[in-house]
Amino acid sequence: MNPYHQFAADYARLAHEGRHLPLGGFPPTPRPVIAPDAPKALLFSPHPDDECITGALALRLLREARFNLINVAVTQGSNPARQAARWTELKNACDFLGFGLVQTAPNGLERVSVKTRSAAPGEWRVKVERIAELLEAHRPRVIVLPHVRDWNSTHIGTHYLVADALAELGPTFDCFTIETEFWGQMDDPNLVVESSVADVADLIAAVSFHVGEAQRNPYHILLPAQMQDNVRRGAELVGGQGQAAPDFVFTTLYRLRRWRLGRWERAYEGGRQLGIDQSPATLFV
């Protein structure tokens, strides 16, 4: 008998059963008390649902470090018929997690892509000015954005949009940046962040509030497998080739850098692994 047969069968059973769990509609999770002068983190989400799928560290910053975590809805999707519904789903998901929420435009920004950046500089500049306006208004300690090769055109466009807005603010603007991955994996992440079972369950539930997307592609129930594979990847991509995997079950990979004097610089040498017994505030000292 193959001792792993039941192990694999249990994975298959859970994936099947997960498709029949309810989508959204859950009461909000307990909210931490956030001080009026708490440091801010702006999470620039290319689409509604990215704030949950890549939001493991953001959730820990809110819950453990008591950051004022605000999701910036860069777009509301490319389908005009779904934009209002996606905004409602997004509000419900953010309310469930306790994230603040900012809209960039009545239906979100449109045509956020490298093609627009190169072919329509006037249109692009208007978008950049809107993001720079938000950065200037909130003066975040941390910003979260997709990495530059995250495959999806809007994810890549969002990276350049935020980078151009940072450059627009000049050399006095200083913050830490957390780059995320979803569609395209990073070659050089430098941070592994562990998530508790409770946080993973809440992230899955939050993704499920994006009902239209979850019905089209069950991102929510696939999230745990993605976070488990990150343990394998992070062990060597962040820890070093040939290194043993940490005793984590669920992790997310990021690239942590600092924006200072109008450019990116390293936040530290090598890589870091942030376990659930460590405060995420220690990343930004």
Question: pLDDT by residue (tens digit) across 66-106?
Answer: 999 999 999 999 999 999 999 999 999 999 999 999 999 99
Supply angle C-alpha 203, 75, 51, rounded to 5: 15
* Superfamily for the 16-29+37-284 domain: LmbE-like (3.40.50.10320)
Please report which confidence band the pLDDT of residue 145 belongs to, taking 50, 70 and 90 as the band edges.
very high
Euclidean distance between CA atoms 209 and 204, whole angstroms: 9
Of the candidates 86, 161, 154, 56, which has an alpha carbon nearest to the alpha carbon of residue 117?
Answer: 161
CB atoms within 10 A of CB 137: 11
| Residues 257, 280 contacting (CB under 8 angstroms) | no
| Residue boundaries of the structural domains of the chain | 16-29+37-284
Residue whose tokens read 């909130």: 138
User: What is the arithmetic mean of pLDDT over 217-230?
Assistant: 97
20-74: pLDDT as tens digits = 999 999 999 999 999 999 999 999 999 999 999 999 999 999 999 999 999 999 9
> Whole-angstrom distance between the N-terminal and C-terminal Cα of the chain?
52
Q: What rounded mean pLDDT belongs to the chain?
A: 97
